[in-house]
Structure 1
Amino acid sequence: DDLSYSFLQVARTEARITSRAGLAQFEAARCIRDLAGKAHSTQLAQLAARMTSAIRASSRLGEDPFLKIKGLIQDMLEKLEKEAEEDAAKKGFCDKELAESNEKKADKTNEIEKLSTQVDKMSSRSAELKEEIAALEKALGELASGQAGMDKLRFEEKEIYTKNKADMEQGLDGIKIALKVLSEYYAKADKAHSSADGAGGSIIGLLEVVESDFTKGLAEMTATEESSLSAYDTETKENEIEKATKEQDVKYKVKESTELDKTVAETTSDRSGVQAELDAVLEYLQKIEEECIAKAETYEDRKARMVAELAGLKEALRVLNEESTDGALIQTASLRGVRRHSHA
């Protein structure tokens, strides 16, 4: 009877162990199912379903599903831990690439802005120089035109002066000859013409006045010519200096403008090269952002979810392991009791 009682006690204990183990297994499955709902995790939901199916199948077959359930949880743990490691590595890669790409973007953008500023400044200066060159060339044209007018006027004045001077000198010479002849005539001792002395004196006086006028006119004409020639020479010299100065100014400004235009072309080409580099950086940055910047879930949210999932799986394993340990202790104690009864 005692032996029968002991076997009955062992059977009941084993049934209790099986019942407690089953409860623990279902509790672990429920824990994972709840976690799947909170985390909206399809993987955990599938795991919970597989655990429940394994428990029910083992119950029908009279098998212990503990190892299978533990294996399912352990596999999921390893899978999630691997995903977490890959996610962390991806996060590191993304942070590095995004930081470097944004830095390159800023550098290239700043470089383009500097080159654009240089191009604008040089282009503006070149345009100013071209305006100044045009103004100088216009002034040189006006100067040449003015000098040509002066040359023509001087030539005409010189011709008039030369002709008038010759006429005046010829007239003056004629008057001087007439005065000499008359003076000699009336100075003779022969008084045959004494009755005409009064008239002769008047004629000589008149000729002397005319001679004085001619002499004065010739002097004024010569002075005017000399003054005009001096003014012409002075202005011509000033024009030559102004022309040389302006031509030299044009030469330097043309040279500077040409060099600026060349530098503008080179700088524009450099800017195009930098722009191409920036376009490549922007294209890569867009690709990295699409790959790395989550639209629905950030890395921090994803990390928190995975931490919660891992914690839940570890908790499920703990429950199973504790129940397995408790069951083993109870089973050992029960078997010892059976042995004592059998020895008795």
Structure 2
Amino acid sequence: MQRLCLCLLASIALASDVTPVQKVVQMLETMKEKGTKEMNEEQVQYAKFEEFCKGTLAEKGASITSAADQIETLEAEIESATSEAARLAEEIGGHAADIEAASKEKQNATELRETTRSDFVATLKDYTESIDAVGRALKVLKAEKKSSSFLELQAVRDLKTLPISAADSLDAYIKGSSLIEAAPEAKTYEFQSGGVISMLEGLQDKFVDERVSLEKEEAKKRHSYEMLVQSLDAQLAQSKKDQDAKVQFKAKKLQAKASAEGDLDETKTEKASDEKYAKDLKATCSKKAAAFDERQKLRKEELEALTKAQDIISSGAVAGSAEKHLPGLVQTATSLAFLRSFSARPEQLEQVTRFLQQRAESLKSRVLSATAERAAADPIAKVKTMIEQLIVKMQDQANEEATKHGWCQAELASNKAMREEKTDQVDSLQSEIEELSSSIAKLGEEAVTLNEELTQLTTAMANASEIRQKEKQKNADTVRDAKEAQEAVAQALQVLKEFYAKAGAATSFLQTKTTEAVPETFSEPYTGMGGESGGVLGMMEVIASDFARLQAETQAAEEAAKAEYEEFMEDSKVDKATKSKTAEHKESKKLSKSQELMATETDLQGTQKELDAANAYLEKLKPDCLDTGASYAERKAQREEELKDLETALKMLETV
């Protein structure tokens, strides 16, 4: 029997360098060492993963808070731009109403002026024709041309401007003259003719005076119209400038609103992406933490089981080496990372001269003083003509100065408005340049941050792929080793079972009965260590079932790790695409802002030039419009006094 066991063991040893039991013992020892090492590595790996979770979640939390603050700021900017655009639209409408009202007022004034001018021309024509007709009648009457006088007198009688009393006198004269022709009486005719001549001369003077008054009134109306039109034109120009400026400002506000709305949508998208990422990562980190705790617990239990199994298999008759792999659901913690011109008497001339000298001294007027000197030296008729011409000249000068004053006021007002407008524009453009520069810098920083996050994400994906590949290979090796171990245990079981079966059968024929006296050598037949083999075989069967369980659990863990890796890679790809698109958008927006900055700087240069030109133009206006000594009102009052005195002097000369 012993020889048979020895033969069997020898045959097993010859078939393999080590026995299956020794292989199991060796595997158990190796698995213990490997399990201890992997448990320590898993602790280090999880510590890194835990640190990654805390850092990434804190980073995402800060990013989400920053995005929320930015969303609040952008919404406030949008609301402000919307309100400002609405206000500007209302003010633009007000300017449009002002322009329409001023244009209508100018049109009405022009139509009234054309009507008044037409009436003046017609009335002036009537007075001119009346003066000519009276002049011709006086000429024929003084020449005593009776044949022609009736025709000329009839022409005077037909005048529209002829007073009723003069018409009655002419009718009586014409009727009386007809009777005289029938019974001529020279003295009577001469008497009547003299009265008509005197009447006509007076009528002629009246027509001349009325024509002069008409012309003066027309000059005043024309001047008033020109001043009104000048004022309305200045008002229209200013209203149009204000309207254009506000239209441009409104367009900028709407553009800023659209830009802010784009940034808001982008920020909301990025915030939502970060929130989803943080939520998924938090869930993954929690899941990994629970898995880590469970794995550590299983590893400890596994090491205890391996030690116990090794002690059992290594004890007694089941002496051998430990098997290579028997980890209890040994898994490598996968670290996943989740990374947007008349005559007068001489005494009148002396009186006029004294009057003018007195007024010249009173007013300190060089005009009146010069006129008094001329009146003392020239004939009366010439003095009268001189005064009339001087009055007309001073009236023209008054009109010219009033026109110039109006022009100066309009130009000064326009220049002031232009300087204020350009100053405001310069300030606004400088503020816009500062805002654009800040925005460009911020976009640059955000783009750098996104690129860094993309780099980290790419690295994390590469690391995850590397870890996954190692994990996959490791699981494959584990499954292969588990299969080999099952085969080895099965082989050991088969060997032992065959051995004990054979041992039982062999010993049953060893003892025979004899009648001869033989020394008793064994009291019982030897059946081998069958009783002990039951425990060994049971343990071997447990070991086999453990390897089968290891294979099944490793395969299940492989499927779970594969799904988790694929989910991580998909989330990372989406996050990477989002960040890449956001980075491209920020770079594009930065380029757009840079171009806008260049355009704004060009606008600032142009506006500054316009402001400089307006300041230079003000310096040109000062000599003629501001630095003129006496004010316009003082010069106007002085001229009005001089005109009044000249008209008084003229009336003194015209007194008969």
**TM-score grouping bracket, smaller chain normalisation:** 0.5 to 0.7
The letter for the 1-side match of 2:491 is: I
Quick one: which of 605, 625, 630 aligns to 1:292?
A: 625
1:42 partnered with 2:354: no
Quick one: which of 433, 444, 453 aligns to 1:139?
A: 453
Cα deviation, 1:311-341, whole Å, max 9, x if unaligned, reads 112222333454xx4xxxxxxxxxxxxxxxx
The letter for the 2-side match of 1:190 is: A
1:181 partnered with 2:495: yes
Partner in structure 2 of residue 259 of structure 1: 592
1:155 partnered with 2:469: yes
TM-score by length of 1: 0.67
How far did 1:241 drift? Answer: 1.6
Q: Distance in 1 between matches of 2:572 and 2:558?
A: 21
Secondary structure at 1:297 match in 2: coil
How far did 1:89 drift? Answer: 4.0
Q: 1:249 to 1:65 in 2, by over 3 A?
A: closer
The letter for the 2-side match of 1:147 is: M
How far did 1:242 drift? Answer: 1.4
Q: Distance in 2 between matches of 1:200 and 1:78?
A: 151
1:181-260 to 2 correspondences below 5 Å: 181-188=495-502, 190-192=505-507, 194-260=527-593
Alpha carbons 1:115, 1:271 under 8 Å: kept: yes
Alpha carbons 2:349, 2:380 under 8 Å: kept: no
Unaligned runs of 5+ residues in structure 1 are 1-19, 56-63, 326-344
How far did 1:280 drift? Answer: 2.9
Cα deviation, 1:193-249, whole Å, max 9, x if unaligned, reads 613211222321221122222222333333333322321221112111211222123
Larger displacement relative to structure 2 (116-125 or 136-145) = 116-125
Q: 1:195 to 1:69 in 2, by over 3 A?
A: closer
Cα deviation, 1:122-166, whole Å, max 9, x if unaligned, reads 666655544543443233223223223323332333343344444
> What is the root-mean-square deviation of aligned Cα atoms in Å?
3.9
Alpha carbons 1:35, 1:44 under 8 Å: kept: yes
Q: Distance in 2 between matches of 1:201 and 1:321?
A: 164
Count of residue correspondences: 293
Cα deviation, 1:72-104, whole Å, max 9, x if unaligned, reads 756754653453343234235435544655666
Alpha carbons 1:51, 1:69 under 8 Å: kept: yes
Secondary structure at 1:195 match in 2: coil
TM-score by length of 2: 0.38
The letter for the 2-side match of 1:44 is: L
Q: Distance in 2 between matches of 1:278 and 1:313?
A: 47
Partner in structure 1 of residue 482 of structure 2: 168
Q: Distance in 2 between matches of 1:160 and 1:89?
A: 102
Q: 1:159 to 1:112 in 2, by over 3 A?
A: same
Unaligned runs of 5+ residues in structure 2 are 1-344, 508-525
Alpha carbons 1:169, 1:218 under 8 Å: kept: yes
Q: Distance in 2 between matches of 1:166 and 1:40?
A: 129
How far did 1:177 drift? Answer: 0.7
Larger displacement relative to structure 2 (184-193 or 96-105) = 96-105
How far did 1:180 drift? Answer: 1.0
Partner in structure 2 of residue 308 of structure 1: 641
Alpha carbons 2:500, 2:528 under 8 Å: kept: no
Quick one: which of 387, 400, 403 aligns to 1:86?
A: 400
Q: Distance in 2 between matches of 1:23 and 1:239?
A: 115
Q: Distance in 2 between matches of 1:74 and 1:220?
A: 128
Q: Distance in 2 between matches of 1:37 and 1:294?
A: 26
Q: Distance in 1 between matches of 2:388 and 2:576?
A: 99
The letter for the 1-side match of 2:505 is: D
How far did 1:120 drift? Answer: 7.0
Alpha carbons 1:179, 1:204 under 8 Å: kept: yes
Q: Which has the higher contact order (CA 8 A, sep 6+)?
A: 1
How far did 1:169 drift? Answer: 3.1
Q: Distance in 2 between matches of 1:283 and 1:240?
A: 63
Alpha carbons 2:398, 2:639 under 8 Å: kept: yes
Instruction: Indicate the percent of aligned positions where both proteins have the same amino acid.
Output: 30
Alpha carbons 1:147, 1:239 under 8 Å: kept: yes
Alpha carbons 1:98, 1:289 under 8 Å: kept: no
Cα deviation, 1:25-46, whole Å, max 9, x if unaligned, reads 2x43443234334433234345
Q: Distance in 1 between matches of 2:448 and 2:532?
A: 75
Partner in structure 1 of residue 250 of structure 2: none
Larger displacement relative to structure 2 (72-81 or 293-302) = 72-81
Cα deviation, 1:99-125, whole Å, max 9, x if unaligned, reads 655666677677778877876776666
Q: Distance in 1 between matches of 2:579 and 2:403?
A: 72
Name the one with the larger helix percent. 1
